[in-house]
Amino acid sequence: MKQSQAPLWEYLNRRRQEEHVWLHVPTHGGGAGLPSELREAFGSYARFDLTELPGCDDLFHPTGIIAAAQELAAELWKAEATYFLAGGASAGVRAMLAAVCNPGDEVLVGRNAHKSLADALVFTGAVPRYLPVESRDGLLLNVKPEAVREGLLRYPRVKAIFLTSPGYNGVAADLAAIAGMARDAGVFLLVDEAHGAHFQFATEMPQPAGPFCDLCVQSWHKTLGALTPGAVLHCHSKHVDRRRLQDALQAVQTTSPPYPLLASLDAVRRRMALYGEKVVREMLAEARKLRRVLATYLPLLSAAEVARLGFSLDETRITVLAARAGVDGLALGRLLAACKIEVEFMQPHAVLAIVGPGYRPDWTQRVAAYLQAMPPLRENKIQVPQLPAPPPARYTPREAWFLPSALAPLSGATGFVAAASLVCYPPGVPLVFPGEEITPAVVEYLLAARRAGITVHGVDGQEQVRVIAEV
């Protein structure tokens, strides 16, 4: 097939124009059975919302249009195989680990991993050995090659290295150097590249993970304009057991494939094949214009700054360093939202804006006009402590998950062992993984975060956390 084709989208679009008798799920009958308010808004979408009918293919045993669409994606991203994900990149993270790790296998993990990695550790029974992550101004950046080298020396029996690159703020690790260490050690390199699907389409971007890793996941809805939570998993290695990988994918996803989502992945792949360089260069050009506007008023995380630390930066991820400016990032984000300017992330220390393929050039002028008229921001009176050091592990995440648990007040949780992840969201990176001790620094940080208005997953409305019950 040719990259100019979109077999999944083209078939569904042809079928949409035909009249069918719907004696199958979904029982909305192509939209007619939706509540009236939904029918008006989503009626066209519902015509694509099908099941595994003849011609539609099966996500877990594809032989037709899904298989063809995945093969075209694999060809474009230079992978051995590509799998469309119905459960977002989070499902891909769980499947990657399950594909290569058995219960008890050790895996080196960067502490900037998304909370889905904690779920994967529980699911697989793999034992994490955490790698330190460089940080600046309250932001986790990424893992240095030196940290990986030390981790491999300290834990010579590890089965895999799991990295998140780029991180939430677009900071990418030196995967070329780390991949060399992984090869020398004979371990798998798994990469959560959720925010980096566009890297291969412009030389100004950080290096893509594909040439260096065994498996990686990408969130195309985060970078390429697919429907949420459109994502893929790429297999780049002949050493991965493909049957086991396919079984893992089926174990962590729904058996009801969302065809509108899958069609969006197919159409996005075609656009990137035909116009990918143009799309990404336009994103980068618009991001640089927006950066210049923002930098007039506020300090930004820059490519030069992260390069001095051995990392590279995706400039379409624009991080305003609110703490460095002495202003409250939450207040800034709320002022922008009141003017209908919505950012990806706002915390006391930073605000993150993302420029994607849907960015409109006139939005830059809108932001500039607002910043020019914006009232002066008061000094940041909300003091969030420095990120706490990784706490000691008392149990593996899987052990902690199945042990009896109880609720404890966050203010009095010091010394207890977490039964679930404690995560500031966004960005969704656990401060504490299941099985780790809750330290005084963690309690101080989370209490301050809560006072600042930050959402913390794992803390309930009564300021309680779930801990392993004393036996």
Nearest to 212 by CA among 172, 153, 154: 172
User: Please, which pLDDT band fits residue 137 given cuts at 50, 70 and 90?
Assistant: confident
10 Å CB burial of residue 303 (0-12, 13-18, 19+) is middle
Could you tell me the CA-to-CA distances from 102 to 109, 120, 123, 244 in Å, in that order? 16, 12, 10, 11
Distance in angstroms (rounded) separating the CA atoms of residues 95 and 120: 8
- As a whole number of angstroms, the distance between CA 7 and CA 65 comes to 6
pLDDT in tens, 153-202: 999 999 999 999 999 999 999 999 999 999 999 999 999 999 999 999 99
Find out whether 90 and 111 touch, Cβ atoms under 8 Å: no
The token pair that represents 106 in the structure block: 């050790």
pLDDT digit string, tens, across residues 252-275: 999 899 999 999 999 999 999 999
Closest residue by Cα to residue 107 from 195, 193, 207, 185: 185
pLDDT(384) > 80: no
Looking at residue 85, its pLDDT comes to 98
Cβ(190)–Cβ(94) under 8 Å? Answer: no
pLDDT(105) > 60: yes
Task: Print the SS3 string covering 61-84.
Answer: CCCCHHHHHHHHHHHHCCCCEEEE
Mean pLDDT of the chain: 95
Let me know: does 242 contact 41? Beta carbons within 8 Å. no
Distance CA 142, CA 71 (A): 32
pLDDT value of residue 12: 96
What are the pLDDT digits (tens) for 311-340?
999 999 999 999 888 888 988 999 999 999
pLDDT of the residue at 454: 86
What does residue 107 show for φ and ψ, rounded to 5 degrees? -140, 130
Q: Write down the domain spans for the chain.
A: 7-272, 279-373, 397-468
- Higher-pLDDT residue of 361 and 323 is 361
Instruction: Determine the CATH number of domain 279-373.
Output: 3.90.1150.150
Structure confidence at residue 402 as a pLDDT band (50, 70, 90): very high
Within this chain, domains 7-272 and 279-373 share the same CATH topology: no
**DSSP 8-state class, residue 410:** G
Q: What is the mean pLDDT of the segment spanning 357-367?
A: 97
Supply the pLDDT for residue 426: 84
CATH 3.40.640.10 is held by the domain 7-272: yes
Name the one residue in this structure whose structure tokens are 């648990």.
405
pLDDT attached to residue 332: 92
Report, at the CATH architecture level, how domain 397-468 is classified.
Answer: Alpha-Beta Complex (3.90)
Q: Is residue 377 very low, low, confident or very high in pLDDT (cuts 50, 70, 90)?
A: confident
Q: Is residue 344's pLDDT more than 90?
A: yes
